[in-house]
Amino acid sequence: MEIDWQSLGFSYMPVKSNIRYKFSGGKWDDGILCSSDKIELSIASNCLHYGQAAFEGLKAFCCKDGKVRVFRPGENALRLNRTSAHIMGPEIPLEIFNEAVQRVVQDNIEYVPPYGTGGSLYIRPLLIGVTPQIGISASDDYIFLVLVSPVGPYYKGGIKPVDACVSEFDRAAPRGTGHIKIAGNYAASLYPTRKAKDMGCQVALFLDAAKREYIEEFGTSNFIGISHDGAYVTPDSSSILDSITNKSLRLIARDLGIEVERRPIKIEELSSFREVGACGTAVIITPVRNICHGEKIYRFRDEIGPVLKQLYDRMTGIQYGEVEDVHGWMQEIKLS
Ligand code: PLP
Ligand code: COI
């Protein structure tokens, strides 16, 4: 296996194995590592027609001391269960989630990008309802699988800024499904993202669907603004994803003495921000250079600003084991 670690982007690479657990008759099985990345399903599977599909995203890092650690897997397990509950799926016990992550990363350890390359092993847990059915009701049977793939930066060019465009479409309804991680939310964002790309922007920024006055989030990440007086400002909304990266950055910001404000943010407030970024597992912190809103363009910086850089360095420092993990976020992958 010859991988050019430096040239990794965010694309799928077949690896040695994935792990699959089946839920049937109200019980989970013991899980099995599979070398094939194909899956056999009934053509009437619920997930294919009615979208009973929940997923997560987390990363394993090869740290400075040579050990491999995963960032906050317990948080992803909790969120996957919140998503599953909303789509009438089964609970995935924490022990099964943790065991799945441990086993699949152990088995694919040679695919974890080495320390110093800036890459990581992306871990994608997926829960799908697989009962063949035509009527709309929750599946009786499920597959919980975890696949992994080595990744580099989500957007080409590392932490180079991206341009965003305020979408004319809505991502999530109030009291809808924006706060959970179901596959359908991402299908719904494909066309708006294509429209943003047609405008020359890599990402779409969504507003609140009720009034279209407040900033919600980007298609694959939360919004962060750094105010004129240096505060970390991020939207408070029940229709955005409760990002684990954002939650962690808010704590890091407080550790660094940066004030944190989590509140509704009016779109016009963009003109008062010194720095803007997108945050999430895949994008880490990606600075935003311009945000287009109709005829108006809000301009920020051509490179990552000092506050976002400080947060980025602390976060990636913890993930790669260069900075003390004071909050106990990193979970080691045990190797025999
Ligand atoms: N918002 C959306 C819509 C996302 O898809 C993601 C990625 O998972 C995030 C925010 C960031 O969440 P996290 O930091 O937990 O990866
Ligand atoms: C992540 O950041 O892990 C995501 O799931 C976002 C995207 C790749 C869908």
Report the pLDDT value the prediction gives residue 2, as an integer from 0 to 100: 86
Asked if the domains 5-151 and 162-319 are classified in one and the same CATH topology, the answer is no
- Those residues whose C-beta lies under 8 Å from the C-beta of residue 99, and which sit 6 or more positions away, are 31
Report the pLDDT value the prediction gives residue 19, as an integer from 0 to 100: 98
For the chain, the structural domain boundaries read 5-151, 162-319
Report the pLDDT value the prediction gives residue 154, as an integer from 0 to 100: 82
Query: What is the radius of gyration, based on Cα positions, of the chain?
Result: 20
> Which is the closest atom of ligand 1 to the Cα of 76?
15
Tens place of pLDDT per residue across the chain (336 aa): 789 998 899 999 999 999 999 999 999 999 999 999 999 999 999 999 999 999 999 999 999 999 999 999 999 999 999 999 999 999 999 999 999 999 999 999 999 999 999 999 999 999 999 999 999 999 999 999 999 999 998 877 668 899 999 999 999 999 999 999 999 999 999 999 999 999 999 999 999 999 999 999 999 999 999 999 999 999 999 999 999 999 999 999 999 999 999 999 999 999 999 999 999 999 999 999 999 999 999 999 999 999 999 999 999 999 999 999 999 999 999 987
Distance between Cα 301 and ligand 2 center (Å): 24
Report the pLDDT value the prediction gives residue 153, as an integer from 0 to 100: 81
With beta carbons less than 8 A apart as the criterion, state whether 77 and 94 touch: yes
Q: Ligand 2: which of 171, 220, 283 to mutate, most ligand atoms within 8 Å of CB?
A: 220
Q: For residue 21, what are the CA distances in angstroms to 4, 109, 235?
A: 32, 20, 36
Report the pLDDT value the prediction gives residue 155, as an integer from 0 to 100: 74
CA nearest neighbour of 227 among 118, 307, 310, 157: 307
> Packing angle between helix 94-107 and helix 73-86, nearest 10 degrees?
120
Report the pLDDT value the prediction gives residue 157, as an integer from 0 to 100: 67
Distance between Cα 143 and ligand 2 center (Å): 20
Distance between Cα 1 and ligand 1 center (Å): 31
| Block residue for tokens 């994803």 | 241
With beta carbons less than 8 A apart as the criterion, state whether 130 and 47 touch: yes
79 φ, ψ to 5°?
A: -70, -40
Domain formed by 162-319, architecture: Alpha-Beta Barrel (3.20)
Give the separation between CA 127 and CA 146, rounded to whole angstroms: 9
Q: Which CATH number is correct for 5-151, 3.40.50.970, 3.60.40.10, 3.80.10.10, 3.30.470.10?
A: 3.30.470.10
With beta carbons less than 8 A apart as the criterion, state whether 46 and 133 touch: yes
Q: Find the ligand nearest to 180 CA.
A: 1
Pocket of ligand 1 (CB under 6 A): 57, 217, 220-222, 241, 243-246, 280-281
* Ligand 2 neighbourhood includes 57 CB (under 6 angstroms): yes
Distance between Cα 2 and ligand 1 center (Å): 31
Distance between Cα 65 and ligand 2 center (Å): 27
The answer, as to whether pTM is greater than 0.95, is yes
